[in-house]
Amino acid sequence: MKGKKMLIVALILLVFVTFGATAQNYSDALSKAVMFYDANKCGPNVANNNVFSWRGACHTQDGSDVGVNLNGGLHDAGDHVKFGLPQGYTFSVLNWALYEFRSALDQAGTTNKLIAMIKWMGDYILRSKSGSRFYYQVGEGEADHTYWGPPEEQTNNRPTYAYADSSHPASCVLGNTAGGLALAYLNFQGSDSTFANQCLTLARDLYNMGISNVGASNGQSFYQSSSQYDDLSWAATWLYVIDGNQSYLDDIYEYLQKPTRNGDIPLNQNHWTMCWDDMGLAVCTKLAMLTGRQEYINVVEENLRYWMNDITTTPGGMKFLDSWGVLRYAAAESMIALLYYGHTGNQAYYNLAKSQIDYILMGNPANKSYEIGYGSNWALHPHHRAANGYTYANGDNQKPAKHELTGALVGGPNQSDQFTDDVNQYQYTEVAIDYNAGFVGALAGLIKYSGGIVSTPAPTTTVTNAPTASPVQTAVPGNLGDVNGSGTVDIVDALLIAQYYVDLNPANFNPAVADTNCNGSIDIIDALLIAQYYVNLISGFCL
């Protein structure tokens, strides 16, 4: 029995070290992640500058029912609706990635591709304002979801479903989109002043619409916003960057103290992350960097502390926020962590981001890439009608996709690191424009701080304590991980912890220094962390 336990321990550690030590090519992953957006283009000119030969013109009459040209933009996910909230969010986050990490995009050789996509989306958004109305949804979600097939063959008329004006509030969509437009102004003012100035004019217009008629948008049952004030704050943040008007900061401080429909107050605490429904953390991150105000610093550092220490974590190391599209949240949090790492230099934030992106890129127990087309083992059944290429007839839609959806981030596995590659299990296999947005930003951030192709974490190899906001760290012994007292932390220490975990009672074992993630228990994750430390994937413990 003891021999079997030892064999299990050795195999576990071998698997952990093997998948943990895989070198990742972040530049390749980033280039592919940007390519993905070509698959979700909509309109008559889809084939232009498109990496996917299987995509072509579709939905060429969008907006004709209201007399407005609403061609362009992006399908939301595996469906073909153009929803306002995720479209505005994606436009914002891609622009933010370009604004903060342009040198990394240059290094990956994908700047021009991202610029082209941002302008594709921007042109659609600019056309969406007609007179006193801003149109933000084309297609009716329930009807659209009854169709399975390529968008090029979807011939039914699509209604212009939702718009904002003085009688129809949509502050969430307006604020989120306005923030992206303001960022587009900052990104393009030196290279395309006409486009940049159009974006800035509309950004101010949409922000004023949003604050003059405050209320939630109509996203049907698919995108119901829990608050509009985080989105208005997002717009005000970037208008402040442009104008330097103190009134924007005053507005933000007021907005972030308003409770959401869930009863949360963003300026008190935020354990969620940046997403289409919550820009509060993104706002606080940028304002902490811009203003140095302690209120914003506290929000960001408490959020990062929670993600490092308290959030549910799978055995393989994935941070598990929500079961539907879990990796979009891990990716978005990674972008936030890297932005704040660049501001503070705290290695723990870099390590958090790297661990999550590496998990996505085959650094997981299944040795699977959750980015399609990266590595050698990825999802074959993404929930994406254009890539799937089949219809419901004879259950053909359940076959492996006809076309490779290169660069798409799929939803990801469950809390046990198990992934179900089934087109109908969309919590695992769905892809969406908002999923990839934070992923693009995180990859660009990792390239900026690691050099693009890495097998060891940059920039230091010294043991670093977690932020001072975490009370757990103050009692960490200086020889944490050195359970046999040899003076070094190596694979032998990992093996001893694994033995201890399966009740083999190893000799020369000091449990006081074995809890390497400081969660109050000694388990196989502590052995994994030592194995990762041994192969230079992390630079310290309790991070």
Residues that are catalytic: 79, 383, 421, 430
CA atoms of 165 and 210, how far apart (whole Å): 9
- E strands along 269-345, which residues? none
Pure H helices in 157-267: 171-188, 193-212, 229-243, 246-255
Three-state DSSP at 322 gives coil
**To 10 degrees, the CA torsion angle through 148, 149, 154, 156?**
-20
Q: Name all contacts of 111-116 with Cβ < 8 Å and 24+ positions apart.
A: 113/31, 113/34, 113/35, 114/34, 114/440, 115/187, 116/49
CA atoms of 454 and 491, how far apart (whole Å): 21
Residue 363 identity (one-letter amino acid): G
Which residues does 362 contact at the CB level (< 8 Å), separation at least 6?
Answer: 19, 22, 24, 368, 369, 374, 375, 377
Sheet harboring 129-130: ordered strands across? Answer: 129-130, 133-138, 160-164
> Quick one: which of 118, 85, 73 has its CA closest to 99?
118
Which residues does 312 contact at the CB level (< 8 Å), separation at least 6?
Answer: 319, 320, 321, 415
- Label the pairing between strands 133-138 and 129-130: antiparallel
> Quick one: which of 224, 66, 33, 52 has its CA closest to 133?
66
* Residue that the structure tokens 């232009």 belong to: 48
Which residues does 350 contact at the CB level (< 8 Å), separation at least 6?
Answer: 337, 338, 341, 449, 457, 459
Which residues does 333 contact at the CB level (< 8 Å), separation at least 6?
Answer: 273, 274, 307, 319, 321, 352, 353, 356, 438
Element of type H or E holding 447: helix 433-450
* Residue that the structure tokens 């049907």 belong to: 220
Check: CB of residue 358 under 8 Å from CB of residue 453. no
Check: CB of residue 45 under 8 Å from CB of residue 78. no
Question: And the tokens for 28?
Answer: 């390749």
> Quick one: which of 197, 203, 220 has its CA closest to 91?
203
CA atoms of 53 and 521, how far apart (whole Å): 53
CB atoms within 10 A of CB 208: 13
CA atoms of 417 and 377, how far apart (whole Å): 15
